[in-house]
Amino acid sequence: MGEDLQDANELYLVVGLGNPGKSYEKTRHNIGFVAVQELALKHGLVFHRQVKFKSSLAEGQIGSKRVLLQMPLTYMNLSGEAVALAMRFWKISLQRLLVIVDDVAIHLGELRLKINSGSGGHNGLKSIEEHLQTQRYARLRIGVGDRQEGDLASHVLGRFSEDEQKVAAAALQRSVEAAEIWLQKGITSAMDFANKA
């Protein structure tokens, strides 16, 4: 997917969704945070808490693209506030937004990359849609395992078992690769990579 030369310096925004605080670390719901942290680590980018943007942000270069990585610190249900603040301040177009999120409707270890799809009941995506007034942005869903017994909240706020951790780690690696492909080659190539079984 070609791009005009004048777009070459425009900023891309990759958002990982999760909840701030020690008690939420390593929960299924925070896999979006972990994905952007892994992406930052791989490319030597460092997160800094920025109260003005209600986020931890890391800015730098990934391949040929200028990238802003964002972890909203608003709690999941209000993620859209932080995303909208960053989009407005840096004048980021919807085509340059990727949101990485957990999904209980997808088997553990699987990825789904779509554009212009619904929230699937995910409160973080609902909040983003509400604040951006659109669904037309890319979202990379990471499967966090089927709920067995009990309510949804206890499942997503639970931690992976030892066996699940290995599968989740491989999915995180693939999600980082999918984000890199999205940045360098565009949404179609990234979807081809992420959505294969």
Q: Reduce the DSSP state of residue 165 to 3 states and report it.
A: helix
Query: Helices (DSSP H) in 43-156: which residue ranges?
Result: 79-90, 123-132, 152-156
Q: Is 48 a catalytic residue?
A: no
Closest CA to 143 of 116, 118, 117, 120: 120
> Tokens 């007034």 label which residue?
133
Closest CA to 99 of 149, 140, 56: 140
Exposed / middle / buried, residue 3 (Cβ in 10 Å: 0-12, 13-18, 19+): exposed
> Contacts for 58-64 with beta carbons within 8 Å, 24 or more apart?
59/11, 62/180, 62/183, 63/180, 63/183, 63/184, 64/8, 64/184
Euclidean distance between CA atoms 132 and 149, whole angstroms: 35
Residues marked as catalytic? 29
